[in-house]
Chain A
Amino acid sequence: MKEKIAKRTDRAIADYFEKVLLPSVAGADKEGEGFFPRRPDPEAVSYFKRCEKKTLTGDDFILEGCASFEKLEEALARLWEGQGFQGLAGTAPAAATLARKLNAYAMESENSDISPFMYVMF
């Protein structure tokens, strides 16, 4: 049964990657330079970049996107829109749907061979 579910979820992940994610960035630089540089730059004096998020205070410690699948969809869309990746932002609903499936699978197949003794002696 677990194997059947695993195969279904593999299919769901593959579909999301091939049919949703990849097409969302079609036409973008295939080398991925739009996401990150892949090779050294001899002209650069330094590779350090200034931190955008220097520290955390108050609400920074709260991540609404990890509270529910719906909020994850909103958070991903907001993140990718803010970064200028409109195509990716459009995949947020599918990401949330996939998360729901994968979480259900993870709950079922959680490894149960953790020691029951924890801190006790014997």
Chain B
Amino acid sequence: MEKTVLGVSAFYHDSAAALVRGGEIIAAAQEERFSRKKHDPRFPRGAINYCLEEAFIDPAELDAVVFYDNPILTFDRVVKNCLAAGEEGREQFLKASRSILGVKMWVEDYVRRELGTLGLQGRLLFTRHHLAHAASAFYPSPFREAAIITLDGVGEWSTTTIGFGKEKGIELLYELDYPHSLGLLYSAFTFFCGFKVNSGEYKLMGLAPYGEPKYYNLICEKLIDIKDDGSYRLNTDYFGYLDGLSMTNDRFAALFGGDPRRPESRITRREMDLASSVQKVTEEIVLKMAAFAKKETGSSNLVLAGGVALNCVANGKIIEEKIYGKNIWIQPAAGDAGGSLGAALMVSHQFFGAPRLYHPRGRDLQKGSYLGPSFSINEITAFLDRHRYPFERVKDKQARAAAVAEALAEGKIVGYFAGRMEFGPRALGARSILGDPRRKETQSIMNLKIKYRESFRPFAPSVPAEEAADYFELDVESPYMLLVSRVKPERTLAVDMKPFYQTGDMLALVNQPRSDIPAVTHVDYSARVQTVHAEDNPDYYLLLKTFKKITGCSVLVNTSFNVRGEPIVCSPQDAYRCFMRTGIDLLMLEECLLWKERQPLFQDEADRQDEFELD
């Protein structure tokens, strides 16, 4: 009989829940989408509630509930870290022990309170953090066997592991332990460049192409030693996270010419060059490790997870170097949220012995990562009618796609809400804001009037899978926007770098068209591509095809449906609120089209800027 397992991740950042039945992923979602608190670390009541509803199961019927890491080993690490700092470890121990000893150790109590049960096992099960990451990468992948690499800030002790998966078994072979962490190194530079840790790493990656890796040698001389096999060790004298509450310390600052950048202040060449330098270090480690993993496992396939696996530029380099050819798969929810999924899969296969499932056409089992809630048309129209929000209902798919595509072709920005919500940080055409990539002003408009975010940040394209090679140097599927590749040279345009070199003003580059799809072409001519498969998302695929019929262009700008600091929208209510608070012109809620100019004055008690803390 198929076993149903609920996996839970919580109390670090990005709490989540996932439900697996007989090895098949039924549901998964991040708590932030329900609580509306970005990166919500609290016990994921909302996400659990959703997973149970989606699976149509009473909590008492769960065959197992599993937590994604081992709090006892985490406490061991916290104690030893603080003791290593001596008396200076006191402040850190004050903060850490509250969380570990007061909350995390007793997660079983939380589960029992929230569910009223611990399922049929009568107790909560536990995995290990990096095994959960490894499982989240291997089991949904299309591979029967694969090398596994996990890289993050830290789990209990491990920060990096190399393993091997075959059929339903996973084994970790090598590890690196705290305090030596590529994730924490990247976070240290994220902090130093004035971005928020655990959410700003993506911005640092996006900033890197504006700079030169001028600090690479200094970083390798003073901060980190990288061996030929990709293993590394930090010089902790330069980092603040061991004995303080800050990622970096005065010695780090002295290396790079002064204090960390103040958040929200002007970004200078120093930050651009630091971003470029740490990105180069990261890519070097990832590439060396990928080669080592291949040698050690003998596998031609690679799967990746852990927060560092969201570094899609580094992932793209693995493809470019052809270490594994096209055979790479990355868990879309590669961070801690995916740990809930990995834990559930570990228990399914390693505890209950469920056989591995395989897609009949050799694809993955992540279901497009559309694993969250959907909303019926009745729910949506009831919501709209109750508030008297005017809408046009267009039941015919073709007509609806045509209406949306025409709006996009006219330069309108569209909030696109359809089907099940994505699991993971990327919007994939279920909770997306869409735009016309051909217009050079789209990037500025979307950054400043829609997302309210830093204007240097690039946008990402969606393209039908079979047409990706017409636009990008990409000959592998990239359904989850986890690979960066170059825009085809014949589409690119020369850029005048002089104004940027003279002034350091990034807008001097941003405002110059870099290709015939300028809104999705980053300053180094790269793009973070989503290849859309008709099987995964037929409606979004149809929209792309319809847009092409009208404009001749197969690409759309696809950014997440939220403003800066807000989680991606989950419900039609969230979507309407975001629509009315921004410059989005048209909102599509399944079959319902809402035009901005026809909407009533939006009565919103909270001010967006007060409600959402800047990320």
Contacts and interface: CB of A to CB of B under 8 A. Distances in A.
A119 B34 contact: yes
Interface in B328-354: 346-347, 350-351
A36 B177 contact: yes
Given A13-B98, A45-B227, A99 B180 contact: no
Contacts of B79: 21, 88
Contact of B127 (A31, A56, A66): A56
Main secondary structure of the interface of A (DSSP, over half): loop
Q: Which of B66, B97, B233, B386 has the most CB of A within 10 A?
A: B97
B89 interface: yes
Instruction: Determine the interface band of chain A, counting residues with CB < 8 A from chain B.
Output: 35 or more
Given A36-B177, A42-B225, A54-B173, A47 B232 contact: yes
A106 B71 contact: no
B97 A39 contact: no
A38 interface: yes
A65 B156 CA distance: 15
B124 interface: yes
Interface string A53-65: 1111110011101
A38 B179 contact: yes
Contact of A46 (B102, B179, B231, B351): B231
Contacts, number: 205
A1 interface: no
Given A44-B227, A61-B125, A121-B379, A49 B175 contact: yes
B237 A55 contact: no
A25 B46 contact: no
B186 interface: no
B462 to A, nearest CB: 27
Nearest to B76: A79
Nearest to B387: A122
B176 interface: yes
A66 B125 contact: no
Nearest to A54: B171
Interface string A64-80: 01110000100110011
Contacts of A98: 97, 101
B84 A35 contact: yes
A84 interface: no
Q: Which of A44, A61, A122 has the most CB of B within 10 A?
A: A61
* 3 A-B pairs with least C-beta separation: A32-B84, A102-B102, A40-B225
11 contacts: A36-B84, A37-B233, A38-B237, A47-B180, A47-B233, A61-B126, A80-B76, A95-B101, A99-B101, A118-B45, A119-B50
